[in-house]
Amino acid sequence: MRLPSPLTGALFALFSLPLLAAADPALTVTADNPTGIAAPGQKIVWHVAVSDDPEHKIQNGTYVLKKGGAEVIGQGKLTFGAEPATVETSLNGPGTVLAEFDAPVEGKKPLQAFAGAAVEPGKLRPSLPAPADFDAFWKAKIAELTAVPENAVLEKSDSGKEGIDYWKITMDNIRGTHIHGQVARPAAGEKHPALLIVQWAGVYPLPKTFVTDRAQEGWLVLNILAHDLPIDNPKEFYDEQGKNALKDYTSIGNEDRETSYFLRMFLSCYRAAEYLSKRPDWDGKTLIVSGGSQGGLQSFVTAALNPKITAVLANVPAGCDNTGAEAGRNPGWPYWKNHTQGRDAKKVMETSRYFDAMNFAARIHCPTLVGMGLIDVTSPASGVFSAFNQIKAPKEIVVIPNSPHQNVNGVQGPFYKREGEWRAALVKGQPAPVQPNTAVAP
C-alpha cells in the first residue's frame, strides 16, 4: 500500500475540514462618550455601522430616540456607506435617552441595536411620592407575620462539596403559606457572617451551588425561592407551574395591596433575614442581602424592612418606578400598567406604589452596591437611577452603558467584579469598600 505524501496528506486534511461559516451582519454602535453620562446641553453622539457585510447589501436603516425610554424626542433614517452613520441628541436637564437602531435585511429579521445615555442622573427623582401610609402598612404586615410562628424545619443533605454543611429549609409565612430555601455554611468554625440570596423572576428550582459556592467563601448562606414551592423538584414540575398556577404571577391579586402576590414574597424576605439573625452560628455583625432583577427588588425590600441588614448587593434591580408613566418615563418589570385588562386600572396602579423598589430604597440605611445598564428595557435606567438616588447611606452604582438586562457576553463583568470585591471585604468583617460614582452625583 502506498502512503500519501506529506503534501497530499496536508491537502486532504485541509479540504476535509468543514468550511467556516461567514459571520452574520450586525449593527455596531460606538459612542463619542464611552461613559454614557453627559452634561445638560452636551451633544450625545453615536456612530452606527454594519459589520460583516462585505457586499454592502445593507445600506439603510432607521433610528428612534426615547427620553426615559418612553417619549420620542427624535427619529430618522440611517445611511450606511464608507463611514458610519451618525446620530446626535442632547437633553437640557436630568433624564435618560434610549436609542433604538434598526436595519432591514431581505428575507430575514431586521438588524437591531441599542444605545443609551444619561444626563445629570443624580437629579432624577421618583415619579410619585410614597403613599402617606406606606410605613404604617408595612409595619402592620410585619406584625401579621410576627404573629405566625416561624416553625423552621431543616433537612440535612449532602452539600456535594468537602467542608460544607447543607440543609433544605422550610418556614411558615402569612395566611398558611410557606417559605422554601436552602442553607449552607463552612463545617469548620462556630460563627460566620451571613448572606441572604433572593431570586430573579421565573419559576425554577434552586441548585445547591447557589449556596455552597458562597459557603466556600466563608459565609453562612440562606437562599430562598420566591414562590411557595419545593426547591428541588424535576424541571417539568416548574414548567407546569409556570404555565398554569403561576402564569403571570406578578399580576395575581394586583388590585389590592392585601392580595398582591408580592406581599407574601416580600414578607418571606423579611422572615429569612430574621431567621439568619437568630441562628447561633451567625457572627452577630455582618448580614447582607444579594440578588439580581426581581432579586434586586427583593434586596431593596429586605434592607428597608429589616434594620439588621448591613449591606445590599443588587444588580439590575427590577420594580423601580412602577408609576413612571406619570413622569413620562417607561416603567419596568413587572409592568403593572400592562396588567390592567379586565381590572380597575386605578386600583392596580395605586397598589403598585406599595411594592415599588423606589419607595423601599428611600428606607435603606446601610451601604448599597447597585449595577445597571443604560440599554436595559426590563429595568430602565431612569427608574434605577431614581431609586438609587433615594438611598440614604453610603452607596455605589456601576453604570454599564452597553448592558441590557441580561449578562450578554459577560457585559456585566464590571458589576460582578465590584460585587466580588465587596463580598471579599464584608466576609472578613471589613467596611463596605464603597467607591461613589462622582459622574452620577446630584
pLDDT in tens, 112-162: 999 999 999 999 999 999 999 999 999 999 999 999 999 999 999 999 999
- What's the rounded Cα separation, in Å, for the pair 23 and 29? 17
Cβ contact 354:131 at 8 Å: yes
Average pLDDT on 413-425 reads 98
Instruction: Give the confidence band of 21 by pLDDT, cuts at 50, 70, 90.
Output: low
At which residue does the C-alpha cell 455601522 appear?
A: 49
Instruction: Please report which confidence band the pLDDT of residue 11 belongs to, taking 50, 70 and 90 as the band edges.
Output: very low
User: Domain-by-domain residue ranges, the chain?
Assistant: 26-119, 134-440
- How far apart CA 68 and CA 386 sit, in angstroms, is 11
One-character DSSP codes across 72-91:
EEEEEEEE-SSS-EEEEE--
d(CA 208, CA 285) in angstroms, rounded, equals 25
Put simply, whether the predicted model's pTM sits higher than 0.85 gets the answer yes
Cα first-last separation, the chain: 82
CATH fold, domain 134-440, is: Rossmann fold (3.40.50)
pLDDT band at 441 (very low <50, low <70, confident <90, very high): confident
C-alpha cell, 232 = 428541588
DSSP 95: E
User: Residue 363 and residue 365: Cα distance in Å, rounded?
Assistant: 6
Homologous superfamily assigned to 26-119: Macroglobulin (MG2) domain (2.60.40.1930)
Q: What is the pLDDT of residue 170?
A: 98
**Which pLDDT score is estimated for 82?**
87
CA distance 215 to 222: 10
Report residue 54 as a C-alpha cell: 462585505
Q: What is the mean pLDDT of residues 354-364?
A: 98
pLDDT at 360 over 70: yes
